[in-house]
Amino acid sequence: MKFSAQQIAALLNGEVVGDANVIVHTLNKIEEGERGGLSFLSNPKYNHHLYTTQASVVIVGKDFVPEKEFSTTLIKVDDAYGAFATILQAYEKSRQEQKTGVSKLAFVDPSASLGKGVYVGEYVYIGANVQIGDGTKIYPQVYIGDDVKIGHDCFIYPGAKILHQCVLGNECVLHAGAVIGSDGFGFAPQKDDDFRKVPQIGNVVLEDRVDIGANTTIDRATMGSTIIRRGVKLDNLVQIAHNVEIGENTVMASMCGVSGSTKIGKNCMFGGQVGVAGHLVIADGVKLAAMSGVAANILKPNSVEMGAPSFSHKPFLHSYVYFRKLPALAEKIKNLEKELKQLKTK
């Protein structure tokens, strides 16, 4: 990778301040910058690194005003962090596009259909009637079951499993060990206290630009589909149960769990280790703090909740003030009871 500051500015619709012809060939953190490196500055607490960094080019916001002299070339953009993400995406795409072709050590069923520029790595299994779109990359040891459909420009990383009849849209990413279409947790209690397995005959549908973290599992529906809408981002170790629906552009941090048949709105944000009970409705734009436990519907859009069971964050914070004082309050009550007992004795 070799680009001039001017070429990068053209990509980002930015303005060059300094040497427009300087060449960069690597990416750095600003505090670890080196000659030929490209970095970015978006958090004001890192501003001081600009005056000492050796990075050749630094991306900054248009409103950035230097406090003293600096030696690097700047590219001013509307959103420095977003612009650097664009650069990283372009770099990653150029690296990944080098991989094409089907390994001799992969198994591809003769009835499967592979688009142009598809890469299939070693020890991949692709079942019957699978359809894979142009430019999709499937890394070693991936399993793709019968009748699966995968869109274009997806990345399926090592060890991921996509079980039969599941559907992935375009530009989806499955990280290592993700499982799409495992059985829903369905068992019917019997009179003898045993449980009878309920067959899970549905599937999982991922719409376009869905990212699924490492070792995350999404269960197939009992009937119909478990649906992950466009732009959803799930972190590592997330569990999504059968018949759940997650709305567009919702994000969940690591170790969240959503029980069966719950419907989650769009643009929601869940912190780590959030647990959601089954058959609930969560409105658009809801934010849940880490380790919240949701046991009831949240029907007000853009609500912010925390705690277990969760409730509005402001009353929670007020309540927590008293919770922290419980030992002192208990001691006061104990002393009052002693005084009351003495008064009664007198």
Q: Give the span between the Cα atoms of 39 and 59, in whole angstroms.
A: 6
Q: Give the span between the Cα atoms of 186 and 166, in whole angstroms.
A: 18
Residue entry with tokens 């040497």: 19
The secondary element (H helix, E strand) that includes residue 328 is: helix 326-345
Residue entry with tokens 């680009």: 3
CA distances (Å), origin 315, targets 256, 259, 282, 293, 324: 23, 26, 19, 16, 14
Q: Give the span between the Cα atoms of 35 and 73, in whole angstroms.
A: 11
Q: Give the span between the Cα atoms of 188 and 127, in whole angstroms.
A: 31
> By C-alpha distance, which of 229, 224, 263, 230 is closest to 244?
263
Q: Helix 80-96 crosses helix 5-12 at what angle (to 10 degrees)? A: 110
Taking a C-beta distance cutoff of 8 angstroms, is the pair 291, 309 a contact? no
Helix (H, G, I), strand (E, B) or coil at 114: strand
With vertex at residue 277, the alpha carbon angle to CA 229 and CA 237, rounded to the nearest 5 degrees, is 60
Find the catalytic residue in 242, 279, 313, 318.
242
**Is 318 one of the annotated active-site residues of the chain?**
no
Taking a C-beta distance cutoff of 8 angstroms, is the pair 301, 286 a contact? yes
Annotated active-site positions, please?
Answer: 242
